[in-house]
Amino acid sequence: MATAKKAPATTAPAAKKAAAPAKKRTPNAAFMKALTPSPALAAVVGSAPLPRTEIISKLWVYIKANNLQDATNKRNINADAKLKELFGKPQVSMFELAGLIGKHVK
């Protein structure tokens, strides 16, 4: 019994796929909304209302300036007295950072 071979799938030439003009991404308004930091967070980033992205950036500036990244695992942040109030524990992962900060902004 002979079986029929399937024809190879044809692909559309690249010329036919006209590149649509790239749409410019608009920033998400939720990230740009100014949030008021709690007193514990204000001790690190300042008391002025800031967008969430700026709060995280200023927090990283503080961490790097005070050499608080763990030497063996750079993904971990060792808390000093100010950060211990924010984190509630002596060491956190950088992936936990945004979640922990969310509790300290209004």
Domain span at residue 60 reads: 31-102
In a domain, 72, yes or no: yes
In a domain, 14, yes or no: no
pLDDT of residue 11: 61
In a domain, 58, yes or no: yes
In a domain, 61, yes or no: yes
Question: Into how many domains does the chain fold?
Answer: 1
Provide the H-helix boundaries in the chain. Answer: 29-32, 39-45, 52-65, 81-87, 97-102
The tens digit of pLDDT for each residue in 33-63 reads 899 999 999 999 999 999 998 999 999 999 9
The tens digit of pLDDT for each residue in 3-13 reads 777 766 666 55
pLDDT of residue 98: 87
